[in-house]
Structure 1
Amino acid sequence: MSGELLLHGGLVLDGSGGPGVEADVLVRAGRVAAIGTGLSAPVVRDVTGRVVCPGFVDIHTHSDLTLLSDPRGLSKVHQGVTTEVVGNCGLGVTALAPGAPVEPIRQAVGYLDLDPAVAWSWPDLAGYLAALAGAGPGVNVATLVGHLALHATVVGFDDRPAAPGEIDTMCGLLGEALDAGAVGLSTGLVYAPLPYVRDVELLALAAVVAGRDRIFTWHVRNYDDDLLDSVGQAVEIARATGARTQISHLAAVGRRNWGRVRRALDLVDAANADGCDVGVDIYPYLHGNAPLSQLLPAHVQEGGPQAWAPRLRDPAVRAEVRAAWADRPTGWDELTLSWTIRPAPDPVVGQSIADLAAQAGSDGVEVALDLLAELGNGVLMTAGGRSADDLRAVLCHPAAVVASDGLALDPDGVTGAGVPHPRSYGTFPRYLHRYATDLPDAVRRCTSAAAARVGLRDRGLLRPGGPADVVVFDPARLTDRATFTAPHQLAAGVELVLVNGVVTIDGEAHTGSRAGQVLRGGTA
């Protein structure tokens, strides 16, 4: 359905944070034609007792390749997401230096790569956006430039600083990608070779981003013992360059670090008081999700997965890693394997590393190193060790928006393997159901505030003339159903979703419509 549709009698929260009003919403030709009373249309849907709001804008996702595997974006659109921003944590699939081989980058960003049948054929960011558009996505998609691909294809995977000429090359490639439609740049300073990046490179790239008024998003260098220094690094780059900056999934890992989130937020507040533009995002869970390789010391990962994985069979290297892991802030019982590249079902998936060690009569270090030596980046984990008080502190902070850090998954398809983090299915209903004390403001954090962070000025608000990305949910039934042991469960209570005016979810069922658009930075 893409013609005229009247949503009658709902409580309209327009995404601005203002109070809700009972009103009708008229949709015509993919746009919001009017909001008010006494409206009419050939097709009327009675949504009395429901909330009508903009589609949720998920600015931190890793759906770069899963949306090419199944463009419907089922796990996301069923929870009300109508726009996704991919390319986060530095792990995007563009921009690559011309002629650079794809396979080393594909291994390095294996976290994104759940379907080996997806062909990685684009030469540049424009080609990737064309591939997305050609797939016919069920949600709108914008992309960041991934720092890992940029750095690795210019500088390589060695532990060395970029030469001045290499920095110039990266800045040129970044500028071209931003001009081709990227909404910004993301870095992830835990993902090799990015731990080897020096500030001079970050400053140069941030200046390119600032010059085009785009966003620079940060998976900071450390979220446990060195959280404050890591957030401080991002803030200082923002101060020096004026780049709009986003601290991704702000959390403190390990009980001994609980409470540091509030001090990190103080750094953000101080920067903003001085005229910077620094935001944060978070998802409403106490566990994270990452490649198991994230635990490795940075220098051990030199050379890329094709080099470091076999290196982990060396007893001397294993002894070195064991020593580095002697004072880890989280226990092996807090790390559960969520997916591997082995054929499903893999019996290790769903088990903690501590449990696997007990079964093998070994210890967590040996189990983890054996897995990494065999699978490289092809093994993912969920990780605990976070504080509920820290989570609430971020969710309530004025600079915070909600973002899933998840992927668009097909529960019945190839991307539905394993036991992934439930955030891919439940982030927004969970937040609104469990954490929202002020519903208009909570909706704002999921819609207009998130869109504004990445410069998508025409999304996140219900207003006449704007795109008709609309969610209708029943506040009495809205909830997440996905769990850590049974994550492939769609959210409940999201009754109707329109993407660019096309009914995509109707009665909590997918209609088969794929009306998403590729969104480009620098455009209204």
Structure 2
Amino acid sequence: MTGWDLLITGGVVVDGTGTDGFRADVAVADGVIVAVGPDLGPVLPDDTHATRTIDASGRIVCPGFVDIHTHSDLTLLSAPLARSAVHQGVTTVVVGNCGLGVAPLADGADVAGIRAAVGYLDLDPAVEWSWRDWAGYADAVAAARPSVNVAGLVGHLPLRGGVVGFDDRPPTPAELARMCELLGAALDEGAVGLSTGLMYAPLTFSRTDELVALARVVADRDALFAWHLRDYSDDVVPAVREALEVAAATGVRTQLSHLTAVGKRNWGSVVTALELIDAARGEGLDVAVDMYPYLAGNAPLAQRLPASVQAGGDAAMRARLADPAVLDQVRAHWADEAVGWDEITINAAPGEPEVLGHTVADLAAARGADPDAVAVELLARQGNAVSMVAGGRDAGDLVAVLAHPASVIGSDGQALDTEGPTGTGIPHPRSYGCYPRLLGEYVDNGSLTLAEAIHKGTSAAAARVGVTDRGIVADGYAADIVVLDTETFADRATYADPRRHPDGVDAVIVNGRPVVDHGRHTGARSGHVLRTKGQGS
């Protein structure tokens, strides 16, 4: 080596391991951290120099955040600069969560039907689905040259939708074997695990034998099984038990996604769920959870419909909503929901900007209509493309999850831009502000120390998906690094005005290249697709 590409001097390194910060310089060459120590500049050999130096005096130098839970599967193909992610210090995203992946697509799969079913991800109709297998999808992401690293879970929905279809029925033995074959091939091609989303049709029709069979494929490869649980409301505790029973039956590494309980009558259920998780971990099961630091979530509005109404796919669901008998069924289902229409805000509805930012209750009042009818009309027109921001959560439950030793941080957001196809709607502010909100609010209020918060957002998250070469500032690790001014690092994104980048991010380095410099995106697109065991491409 005749020189270093980058030398970061004078900062306090919080290295991502959970230990307290220490004063050190950080040297980078060929995309890798090659030295961490005090006063590296003066000890450079005569024939060695740093091409660039960043003065981090008075700043925190930490690993780039590893966002274990995102829905950027398709947004990275139309907005590869990933501005909303990198501007908050994210250097790696994990896609394919909640079962809502986009690959693999079985021979004969109803690709249009699958695309409609994952409409929540699909912000740009111009993106062509040119892949069939998971490797083809990963290659498409690599060809887009994103500014962030990307690891991927296999979505249960394209597996089931492509092989079984969208009806309420179990797979035949041959179909289940085909699903397992496709899953195994995707994991062998580099996917880091499987995700399911048991509130989304047709996954809501999956039962234990199907989940166990898929989990065994994942366990055989020591990959991760991530769960969007069957319920986060009145039945959140039984839903947690279901996931833990599959983990016990198969030994699969298990991640319970965005653990929460909605509706005031369910507040405190999270504590019971954490006790079950502690017991499972005490019995030797590898179970962890993730969460984002907000008291409202974001999901397709169709998630609130009875499973039977969603059967058959998006088009069938929309047609079914014209049947008066079905409307009666839907109204009965909604009569005892734990979260009311006054806590449900519409934040995406293509072609209907007039409904954005309004609660369903307010839309109904303005029209002199019934909220149930307004919601049904939206769903009949938009199907899975209409999404909501839903409240009804408890601050104490959130802190309990964030502070739990088995928790890591995942935004549940998307990599977005302020303009273009991904600049529409009113996204949840977590896409722009998850990590500054974590450090700015939950470190400041004493729920977490700075070292704990950074650990949960970096090396701990990376470890859950088997990414072994990132998330720590140490010799030999990939040079994904963030320089933060913790005095000014703050979330500026709000529910009403979410497309605002945070303050206090001086620099973001991805694979040794500055992607954010003095708060501005450099245009660098140095991300890698991370395949199994953290190998890049």
Alignment TM class, shorter chain as reference: over 0.9
Shift of 1:100: 1.8
**1:16-27 map, 5 Å:** 16-27=17-28
> For residue 389 of structure 1, what is the aligned residue in structure 2?
396
CA shift at 1:101, angstroms?
3.0
Shift of 1:3: 5.9
2:257 — aligned with what?
A: 248
1:465 to partner: Cα distance:
1.6
- Measured against aligned partners, the alpha-carbon deviations of 1:149-186 in whole angstroms (never above 9, x if no partner) come to 10011111110111111111111100000000000000
Tell me the residue number matched to 2:45.
Answer: none
Alpha-carbon distance in structure 2 between the residues aligned to 1:280 and 1:48: 35
Structure 2 SS opposite 1:53:
strand
Q: 2 CA distance for matches of 1:363 and 1:279?
A: 41
The alpha-carbon deviation at position 38 of structure 1 amounts to 2.9
Uncovered stretches (5+) of structure 1, i.e. residues with no partner: none
CA drift of 1:98 comes to 2.2
Cα distance in 2, alignment partners of residues 6 and 153 from structure 1: 49
- Determine the C-alpha separation between the residues in 2 that align with 1:155 and 1:99: 11
Match status 1:48 vs 2:57: yes
1:191 to 191, 200, 208: 200
- Aligned pairs (5 A) from 1:137-216: 137-216=146-225
**Partners in 2 of 1:100 and 1:299 — Cα distance?**
22
Matched residue type, 2:269 = R
Alpha-carbon distance in structure 1 between the residues aligned to 2:77 and 2:272: 40
Q: Which amino acid aligns with 1:497?
A: V
Deviation at 1:492, TM superposition (A): 1.1
Alpha-carbon displacement from aligned partner over 1:102-129 (angstroms, at most 9, x marks no partner): 1100000000001111111111101000
Given candidates 104, 117, 123, the residue that maps to 2:132 is 123
Residue type of the alignment partner of 1:312: L
Deviation sequence 1:456-487 (CA, Å, 0-9, x none):
01111111121100000000001110000000
Partner secondary structure for residue 326 of structure 2: helix
* Number of residues of Structure 1 aligned to a counterpart in Structure 2: 521
Indicate conservation of the 8 Å contact 2:237/2:273, yes or no.
yes
Is 1:312 the counterpart of 2:313? The answer is no
Q: Which residue of 1 aligns with 2:37?
A: 36
The whole-number CA distance in structure 1 between the counterparts of 2:16 and 2:154 is 27
SS of the aligned residue for 2:533 comes to coil
TM-score, length-scaled by structure 1: 0.98
Identity of aligned residues (%): 59
CA contact (8 A) 2:346 2:388 kept: yes
Displacement of 1:29:
1.4
Q: In 1, Cα distance between the equivalents of 2:287 and 2:461?
A: 13
Letter in 2 for 1:34: A
**Which amino acid counterpart does residue 533 of structure 2 have in structure 1?**
G
Moved more, 219-228 or 23-32: 23-32
- Give the equivalent residue in structure 1 for 2:80: 71
Instruction: Report the counterpart of residue 332 of structure 2 in structure 1.
Output: 323
* Match runs of 1:374-453 below 5 Å: 374-436=381-443, 437-453=448-464
Task: Report the Cα distance in structure 1 between the residues aligned to 2:203 and 2:172, rounded to whole angstroms.
Answer: 15
Structure 2 stretches of 5 or more lacking a match? 42-49
What letter matches 1:206 in structure 2?
A
> 1:522: how far off?
3.3
Q: Does 1:232 align with 2:241?
A: yes
> Matched residues in 2 for 1:494 and 1:413: separation?
24
Picking from 521, 530, 534, the partner of 1:510 is 521
Q: Distance in 1 between matches of 2:497 and 2:209?
A: 45
Matched, 1:10 2:11: yes
Checking the alignment, whether the CA contact within 8 Å between 1:231 and 1:264 is kept in structure 2 is yes
Aligned residue for 1:43, secondary structure, equals: strand
Structure 2: distance between partners of 1:134 and 1:62:
19
Aligned-partner SS, 1:476: coil
Give 1:491's match in structure 2, choosing from 502, 508, 516: 502
TM-score normalised according to structure 2 size: 0.96
**CA–CA distance in structure 1, aligned partners of residues 409 and 534 of structure 2:** 23
- Does the 8 Å contact 1:3/1:30 carry over to 2? no
1:4 match: secondary structure: strand
Q: Give the letter aligned to residue 31 of structure 1.
A: V
Letter in 1 for 2:152: T
Mapped partners of 2:52, 2:214: distance in 1: 50
4+ runs deviating over 6 angstroms: none
CA contact (8 A) 2:12 2:61 kept: yes
Distance 1:198 1:395 in 2: 30
Aligned to 1:264: 273
Code of the residue aligned with 1:444 in structure 2: it is: H
Aligned equivalents of 1:102, 1:341: Cα separation in 2:
20
2:385 maps to amino acid:
G
Q: CA RMSD in A?
A: 1.0
